[in-house]
Structure 1
Amino acid sequence: MAEELVLDTAIRDWVLIPLSIVMVLIGILRYFVSKLMRTTQSPDAKIIKEGQVVIRARNLRAAAGFIPLKAFRARKVYYTNEENGLLHVPKGQAQNPQAQMFSDPNMAMDMMKKNLSMIIPQTLTFAWVNFFFSGFVAAKIPFPLTQRFRSMLQNGIDLSTVDVSYVSSRSWYFLNLFGLRGLFSLILGEENATDDTQRMMQMSGFGFDPSKSLGAEKDGLDIVQHDWVLPKFEQRAQAVLRKRLSS
C-alpha cells in the first residue's frame, strides 16, 4: 500500500516556490538574451514568390467551381505544366534545406546561437537543482494517478511505496521547464523565444523546404474535379425562394 506523507511547509517555502521563481526568471532572461543574439535576416525573394504561388494555387483549387471549365483548365495548365508550370519543380533543382544551412553561414550561426541559449541555461539550472534539491518531495497533486506517471513525477526518488501523486523536486523542474509556455506567452507575448518544446523539435531539422509545398499543391490541383456551380445557382435560388414563400 502506498505511503501517505506529510509535507513540511519549509519544503514549500525553500524548495517549491524558489525553484518555480528561478525557472520563470531564467526563462525571461533567456528571452532577452536570445533577442540580443538574434540576427536580422532579409527575406528571400524566391521563397516569398513560391509562397505566393502556393497561396494562389490553393485559392484556385478552393474556388474552382465558380469559374467555367475552360478557364479552370487554362489556369490549371498555367500552374501544373510539366515544362514551365509555376508549381513544377525540376528534380535537379529541388532545394535541400541541409545544404542551404551549410552554404549560408548566417543561418548556421543563428541556429547555433539559439541552441546555445537553450542548452547552457538549462544545463546549469538542472545541475543546480540536482545538487541542492535532489531527493526532496516537493508537492502533491490533488487527484489520484496511475502507476504510469511514477517515472514522470518521481524522478530521483527510488521508493515504490510512495503514492504516485507526490512530485519530486527534479520532476517539478521538468514540469516547469515544459509547462510554463502559457505564462511566458502572457508575460512576453505570443512570439517569445522561451518555447523549449518547439525549440527541441526545431533542433531535429534544418529548415523549411518550399519545393515540397509546391509539389503537394501541384498534386492537389491535379486531382480536382471541376463542378461549375453557376448553372445550378438559379435552381437553388428558386428552391430557397419557394421554401420561404411556403413558410
Structure 2
Amino acid sequence: MAEELVLDTAIRDWVLIPLSVVMVLIGVLRHFVSKLMRSNQTLDAKMVKEGQVVVRARNLRAGANFIPLKSFRSRKENGLLHVPKGQAQNPQAQMFSDPNMAMDMMKKNLSMIIPQTLTFAWVNFFFSGFVAAKIPFPLTQRFRSMLQNGIDLSTVDVSYVSSRSWYFLNLFGLRGLFSLILGEENATDDAQRMMQMGGFGFDPSKSLSAEKDGLDIVQHEWALPKFEKRAENVLRKLVS
C-alpha cells in the first residue's frame, strides 16, 4: 500500500515557490540575453520568396472549397510550387558558408546549455531529496520515474513530486507562460530550439515538395452551392 505523507508548509514556502520563481526569472533572463547576443542578419530574398510561396500553398489547401474549381486549378498548376533541382538553397550549406549563422547557432546552444547546467546543479545541491508537492489526482506507476526523480522509495504514493522532478516539470512546462509574457517567438522554447538544431532551420525544397503533394490529394468540392441551399431552406422556414 502506498504511503501517505504530510507535507510541511515550510517546504512550500522555501522549496516549491522559490524554485518556480527562479525558473521563471531564469527563462526571462535567457530571453533577453539571447536577444543581446543575436547578430543582425540580412534576409535572403530567395528564401523569403520561397517561404511566402509555402504560406500561399497552405492557404490554398485550407480554403480550396471556397473558390471555384477553375480558380483552384489555375492556382494549383501555375508552377509556383516547382523548384528546379539544384536551385533550392541548402540550409546546411548556408550555415557553413555564413559565419554569422554558425556563430548564432553556437550562441543559442550556449545560452541553452549553460543556464540549464547551472540551475540543475543549484537544485541538486540545495533541494535534493525534498518532496515538494502532491498532485491532486491519482496516477499509475508509470509516472513514478518522472515525478519522483531523486527519491528511491517505492512505498511513496506516485502523486508526490520531488524537487528535482519539479525542476524538470518547470523546465518543459513553462512554455505557455513564456509565450504569454514574452510572445510566441521567444528564446526560451527549448523544444523548438532542439528541432532547429536537428534540422538546421527551414528547408525550402522539402517544404515546397510536401505542399505540392498535399495539393495533389485535395478533393475539391465547392461549398457555395451548399450555402445557397441552406439559405433557401432558411427562407422557406421563415416564410412558412
TM-score category of the 2 structures, normalised to the smaller one: 0.7 to 0.9
Moved more, 51-60 or 154-163: 51-60
Q: Aligned to 1:145, what secondary structure does the other structure show?
A: coil
Distance in 2 (CA, whole Å) between partners of 1:234 and 1:164 is 57
Tell whether the 8 Å contact from 2:149 to 2:165 is kept in structure 1 after alignment: yes
Return the TM-score normalized by structure 2: 0.81
Tell whether the 8 Å contact from 2:47 to 2:89 is kept in structure 1 after alignment: no
Residues 188 and 235 of structure 1, relative CA distance in 2, 3 Å threshold: closer
Q: Tell me by how many angstroms 1:7 deviates.
A: 1.8
Partner of 1:50: 50
RMSD value, Cα: 3.4
Residues 45 and 135 of structure 1, relative CA distance in 2, 3 Å threshold: same
Cα shift readout 1:106-146 (whole Å, capped 9, x = no counterpart): 11111111111111001001011111211111111122211
Q: Aligned to 1:219, what secondary structure does the other structure show?
A: helix
Residues 202 and 138 of structure 1, relative CA distance in 2, 3 Å threshold: same
Note the residue ranges of structure 1 that are not aligned, 5 or more in a row: 77-82
Q: Is 2:87 the partner of 1:123?
A: no
Q: Tell me by how many angstroms 1:95 deviates.
A: 3.2
Q: Tell me by how many angstroms 1:42 deviates.
A: 2.1
* Greater Cα radius of gyration, structure 1 or 2: 1
Tell whether the 8 Å contact from 2:91 to 2:203 is kept in structure 1 after alignment: yes
Q: Aligned to 1:92, what secondary structure does the other structure show?
A: coil
Residues 199 and 223 of structure 1, relative CA distance in 2, 3 Å threshold: closer
Cα shift readout 1:36-88 (whole Å, capped 9, x = no counterpart): 11222222111222233344555666777888877776665xxxxxx994322
Cα shift readout 1:180-228 (whole Å, capped 9, x = no counterpart): 2232233323332112232233222211111123223333455567778
1:135 aligned to which of 129, 141, 155: 129
Note the residue ranges of structure 2 that are not aligned, 5 or more in a row: none
**Percent identity of paired positions between Structure 1 and Structure 2:** 90
Count of residue correspondences: 240
Tell whether the 8 Å contact from 2:16 to 2:163 is kept in structure 1 after alignment: yes
Residues 153 and 99 of structure 1, relative CA distance in 2, 3 Å threshold: same
Residues 128 and 85 of structure 1, relative CA distance in 2, 3 Å threshold: same
Distance in 2 (CA, whole Å) between partners of 1:192 and 1:125 is 20
Q: Tell me by how many angstroms 1:171 deviates.
A: 0.4
Q: Tell me by how many angstroms 1:240 deviates.
A: 7.8
Distance in 2 (CA, whole Å) between partners of 1:112 and 1:51 is 25
Return the TM-score normalized by structure 1: 0.79
